[in-house]
Amino acid sequence: MTVADFNRAVRLTVSLAGYELLTQRKESFLGLVWPLLQAGGLLLAFNLFRGGAGGLEIILSTYLGVLVWTTASTVLISNLRILPANRELITHIAFPHAILSVVDVSVKYLFFVVQVLVGVAVWLAVVPNEHWPLVLAYLPIYLLAFYLALLAMAWMASIIGAALPDLSFLLPPVLLLLLALSPVFQRTSEAVSPVVRLFNEVNPFSLWVDAFYATIGIAPAGPTAPFVFLAAALAAVALARVLVTACYREITKVI
């Protein structure tokens, strides 16, 4: 890719992302507010289900974990159907189709960053943390890694969704169940069965939540967590980009 091609891709991504944000604002007030309410609504539902136990520290940390999980799940579901949903655009305009996932991830990530920065600021203000300078230093590394991981997942999901279009309708209730069994609500491994514990150890969403908790000092994974996450995310993006380049040309012929 030349510098000119890269600049055109960036301008197109910014233009499409701006159009997506404008469309959400025009269509309904909740179009912009919904991502801000979704994580809080899930937290409230699960907290009531558990009997409302937990102080402010538990509520804040759980909210932040739910925020990571719901952002990842909405990116996954939307990109499973992103190619069929943009069929008209793909068939009538020549552009790099991988940009569609970049735009979708970027818009959802923007909402995520706003919420997580506010949440972490409140967290640091109300929860004593003598390592807060490290939190502020490691958080940008995590945020970069999370964006790259979302992008890699989005590209892979777009390929899978083109082959299995019904998957986007089957996954939401499964992801909701997995959230209840994830480290967000099950902080100790003894609280879950060995099968669930094993699944959390290989489930990317659970690993991303664990890395976030380690970044802000909740989980004991250590200061290397965001760096390991970044290295894995870079490798995943490279692999997903190769697969997208190989598969999109054939997929777009049949959607």
pLDDT in tens, the chain (255 residues): 554 555 556 666 666 666 665 665 554 555 545 555 555 555 555 555 555 555 677 778 888 898 899 999 999 999 999 888 877 777 777 667 788 898 889 988 988 998 888 888 888 888 777 777 888 889 999 999 999 999 999 999 999 998 888 898 899 999 988 888 888 887 666 666 788 888 888 899 999 999 998 888 765 555 678 899 999 999 999 999 999 988 877 776 666
Residue 7 token pair: 């600049």
Q: Residue 182 sits in which domain range? A: 32-254
Q: Is residue 27 part of a domain?
A: no
Look at the chain and report how many structural domains it folds into: 1
Q: Is residue 16 part of a domain?
A: no
Q: Is residue 88 part of a domain?
A: yes
Q: What is the pLDDT of residue 220?
A: 54
Q: Is residue 154 part of a domain?
A: yes
Q: What is the pLDDT of residue 1?
A: 54
Residues contacting 212, CB < 8 A, separation 6+: 64, 65, 68, 142, 146
Q: Is residue 20 part of a domain?
A: no
Q: Is residue 163 part of a domain?
A: yes
CA torsion through residues 117, 123, 126, 130, sign: negative
Q: Identify whether the C-beta of residue 86 lies closer than 8 Å to the C-beta of residue 41.
A: no
pTM: 0.82
Q: Identify whether the C-beta of residue 184 lies closer than 8 Å to the C-beta of residue 211.
A: no
Q: Is residue 115 part of a domain?
A: yes
Measured distance CA(96)–CA(105) in Å, rounded? 16
Q: Is residue 193 part of a domain?
A: yes
